[in-house]
């Protein structure tokens, strides 16, 4: 098996996608994160004249891996530079549109809303992730007794946060909490909610204050994260619209997924959601439970298998 490394900025969303692809391909990658130096962190990575000198040291240290996997624009520029430094030693695999010449990579795994094509491009419908049947089964065994007190059907609520394109402050959280509470009262569902790292403290306080008096479970951020347990046990899922990764992980389960709108705008996000609506895999959340037949949607295994085929391992 070739040696490998995940090389990206130290953001969970980027690291998870690159690691998910590598693991699905049977690799056991080393994790190498980097921090852009000043002044380069203020410039688009495509403008860095010497990418390997624009980031914290250690990325290009020997021994270099046979395969470098990255996610995001800055990581893409770094692994492209490693490939060009040692064109016969490092094979560069990029997750997401690198926003530089695709020919600089051995392989690119891009979402269909990236509108990227080429002989070295694999197109997927959702973000790459680490949700697998085995992980869900393990999480279900752990969390089933802890959530057994909640009524069924059980609705898992995945809450993201503001990200520059969408807003999720206390006022928006209050609107979401009102819709969730209405669903609990009208449809008699159980509710388990987990915020993300990006969910503001005021938003969490609003959600907690509104939903726990009705019998809802809201993770307080202490102890083990219930995220995989909620994905595994949910009869239906509500996810806020800000995160492609979170929605991609939700639709990889067997539960129907309702997407809660947020104030803001993103053309690429709209294209991503429109595709899943056309696939009949998601519906907008309007404050009531909706159930419809679905199948898990997960392109990660197929992308990883194609990666193995093309790179010959």
pLDDT over 90 for what percent of the chain? 94
Give the count of beta carbons closer than 10 Å to the beta carbon of residue 168.
26
**In a shared domain, residues 115 and 148:** no
Q: What pLDDT shows up at residue 165?
A: 93
Q: How confident is the model at residue 86 (pLDDT cuts 50, 70, 90)?
A: low
**In a shared domain, residues 98 and 187:** no
- Report yes or no on 290 lying in a domain: no
**In a shared domain, residues 145 and 252:** yes
**In a shared domain, residues 147 and 257:** yes
Q: Is the pLDDT of residue 209 over 90?
A: yes
**In a shared domain, residues 77 and 220:** no
Q: What is the mean pLDDT of residues 63-70?
A: 94
HEC string for the chain: CCCEEEEEECCHHHHHHHHHHHHHCCCCCEEEEECECCCHHHCCHHHCCCHHHCECCCCCCCCCCCEEEEECHHHHHHHHHHHHHCCCCCEEEEECCCCCCHHHCCEEEEEHHHCCCCCCEEEECCCCCCCCHHHHHHHHHHHCCCCCCCCCCEEEEEECCCCCCECCCHHHHHHHHHHHHHHHHHHCCEEEEEECCCCCHHHHHHHHHHHHHHCCEECCCCCCCCHHHHHHHCCEEEEECCCHHHHHHHHCCCCCEEEECCCECCHHHHHHHHHHHHCCCEEECCCCCCCCCCCCCCCHHHHHHHHHHHHCC
- Report yes or no on 296 lying in a domain: no
Give tens-digit pLDDT for 18-45. Answer: 999 999 999 999 999 999 999 999 999 9
**In a shared domain, residues 275 and 153:** yes
Give the chain's domain count. Answer: 2
**In a shared domain, residues 18 and 32:** yes
**In a shared domain, residues 67 and 184:** no
- Report yes or no on 194 lying in a domain: yes
**In a shared domain, residues 144 and 213:** yes
Q: What pLDDT shows up at residue 199?
A: 97
Q: What is the mean pLDDT of residues 130-149?
A: 97
Q: What is the mean pLDDT of residues 147-154?
A: 97
**In a shared domain, residues 195 and 238:** yes
Q: What burial class does residue 111 get, using C-beta atoms within 10 Å of its C-beta: 0-12 exposed, 13-18 middle, 19+ buried?
A: buried
- Report yes or no on 189 lying in a domain: yes
pLDDT over 70 for what percent of the chain? 99
- Report yes or no on 294 lying in a domain: no
- Report yes or no on 149 lying in a domain: yes
Domain that holds residue 61: 4-129+301-311
Whether 95 and 71 have beta carbons less than 8 Å apart is answered as yes
Tell me, what CATH number does 160's domain have? 3.40.50.2000
**In a shared domain, residues 116 and 141:** no
Average model confidence (pLDDT) across the chain = 95
Q: What pLDDT shows up at residue 61?
A: 75
Tell me, what CATH number does 38's domain have? 3.40.50
Q: What pLDDT shows up at residue 222?
A: 94
Give tens-digit pLDDT for 166-196. Answer: 999 999 999 999 999 999 999 999 999 999 9
- Tell me the whole-structure pTM to 2 decimals: 0.94
- Report yes or no on 293 lying in a domain: no
């Amino acid at each position: 098996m070739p040696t490998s490394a995940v090389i990206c900025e130290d953001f969970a969303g980027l690291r998870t996608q690159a690691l998910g692809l590598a693991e699905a391909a049977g690799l056991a990658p080393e994790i190498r994160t980097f921090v852009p130096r000043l002044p380069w962190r203020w410039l688009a990575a495509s403008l860095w004249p010497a990418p390997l000198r624009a980031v914290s040291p250690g990325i290009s240290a020997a021994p270099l891996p046979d395969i470098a996997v990255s996610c995001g624009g800055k990581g893409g520029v770094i692994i492209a530079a490693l490939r060009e430094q040692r064109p016969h030693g490092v094979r560069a695999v990029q997750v997401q549109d690198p926003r530089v010449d695709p020919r600089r990579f051995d392989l690119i795994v891009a979402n269909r809303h990236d509108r990227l094509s080429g002989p070295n491009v694999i197109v997927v419908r959702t973000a790459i992730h680490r949700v697998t049947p085995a992980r869900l089964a393990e999480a279900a065994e752990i969390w089933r007794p802890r959530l057994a007190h909640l009524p069924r059907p059980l609705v898992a609520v995945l809450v993201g946060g503001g990200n520059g394109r969408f807003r999720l402050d206390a006022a928006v959280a209050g609107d979401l909490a009102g819709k969730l509470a209405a669903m609990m009262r009208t449809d008699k569902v159980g509710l388990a909610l987990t915020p993300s790292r990006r969910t503001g403290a005021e938003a969490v306080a609003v959600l907690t204050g509104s939903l726990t008096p009705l019998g809802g479970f809201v993770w307080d951020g202490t102890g083990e994260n219930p995220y995989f347990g909620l994905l595994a046990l949910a009869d239906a899922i509500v996810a806020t619209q800000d995160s492609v990764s979170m929605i991609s992980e939700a639709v990889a389960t067997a539960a129907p997924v309702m997407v809660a709108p947020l104030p803001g705008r993103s053309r690429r996000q709209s294209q991503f959601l429109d595709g899943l609506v056309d696939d009949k895999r998601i519906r907008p959340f309007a404050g009531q439970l909706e159930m419809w037949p679905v199948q898990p949607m997960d392109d990660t295994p197929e992308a990883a298998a194609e990666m193995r085929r093309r790179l010959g391992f």
